[in-house]
Structure 1
Amino acid sequence: MTTRQLENVNEILRKHNKRKSALIAILQEVQKEYRYLPEDILKYIAAQMEITPAKVYSVATFYENFSLEPKGRYIIRVCDGTACHVRKSIPILNALRDNLHLSDKKHTTDDLMFTVETVSCLGACGLAPVITINDKVYAKMTPDAVTEILNTLKEEALHEVAQ
């Protein structure tokens, strides 16, 4: 763990007074900061809160929103609920995977720029097929439209690096 990470985690722990009842909130803040829950940070949290690493891991693995694997800067969720599936969400998923060189086993690009996940429902059936990118909803998607969005995001990222 870097000095910067240590300072960040200590600040989160201080904010919650290391209360055992705040474990979920602490993990949420850590994940927001790092886009996943690094193993060394989980062990550190357990030691600082005087709880077992097993307890921290059980909470981190119980809730679906927590991830023990690094996620990309852009988290793309493809809805595959009934309405989206019938309106061809799978070709959209395939276009994303092809464009980003991902598969059903590999969800995150090597540069940690993109993570692609499927979800059972995004609750926007009338807009099907739907994806979200960092929780922003994109309606009535097509493989071509999703490729355009990816190209725009990649371009924006390149501009940010150049500045």
Structure 2
Amino acid sequence: MDSHEQLVQDLVTKYGEGRENLLPILQGVIEQERYLSEDLMLKIAKQMSIPAAEVYGTASFYTFLDTEARGKYVIRVCKTITCAMKGKNQVIQAIENFLKIKLGETTIDKKFTILQTNCLGWCHKAPAMLINDEVYTELTPELVVKILNEYKNRK
């Protein structure tokens, strides 16, 4: 049994084979592997006896369940109208300029990925972004560069 099969088996044992447990199992895989590879989704489908299309459909529906490899730090910029009105586009431009990549891309060193996401729930402090599990609000281009410099200097 390879490590992926063991991971899936452990999660299915923990949560149960019922269809209602698919989301916590997918989240458990993300915690361990950082994304849901095709191999992992097939193993989940097999272990839970559900169609692979259902596993993939669920994974691709939720923007926080990545189905492709991402950088060590995933930057998710809120794309709501509130964030747009408060300067989201300038924030994205500052991130792209600093990291030398475009929205949807990952840096060559696999350290950063930039994505847009639906509402983060911080409209009252827009514009907002998430870097992995850390929320940053009331962003300006200057503040974003300062934040990214801190991440860039982490080991």
State how many pairs are aligned: 155
2:114 aligned with 1:122, yes or no? no
The runs of 5 or more residues in structure 1 that have no matched partner are 158-163
Change (3 A) 1:120 1:57: closer
Name the CA distance, whole Å, in 1 between partners of 2:41 and 2:78.
31
Q: State the percentage of identical aligned residues.
A: 36
Change (3 A) 1:26 1:141: same
Name the CA distance, whole Å, in 2 between partners of 1:55 and 1:120.
22
Aligned structure 1 segments of 4 or more residues deviating by more than 6 angstroms? none
- Alignment partner, residue 148 of structure 1: 146
Question: Which amino acid counterpart does residue 95 of structure 2 have in structure 1?
Answer: L
- Alignment partner, residue 25 of structure 2: 26
- Alignment partner, residue 86 of structure 1: 85
Equivalent pair of 1:35/1:72 in contact (CA under 8 Å): no
Name the CA distance, whole Å, in 1 between partners of 2:140 and 2:2.
44
Change (3 A) 1:156 1:37: same
Name the CA distance, whole Å, in 2 between partners of 1:20 and 1:84.
36
Name the CA distance, whole Å, in 1 between partners of 2:117 and 2:26.
22
Give the superposed CA RMSD: 2.2
The runs of 5 or more residues in structure 2 that have no matched partner are none
- Alignment partner, residue 56 of structure 2: 57
Equivalent pair of 2:63/2:117 in contact (CA under 8 Å): no
2:105 aligned with 1:107, yes or no? yes
Question: Which amino acid counterpart does residue 105 of structure 2 have in structure 1?
Answer: H
Per the TM alignment, residue 120 of structure 1 is displaced from its structure 2 partner at its CA by 4.2
Equivalent pair of 2:8/2:47 in contact (CA under 8 Å): no
Name the CA distance, whole Å, in 2 between partners of 1:83 and 1:50.
42
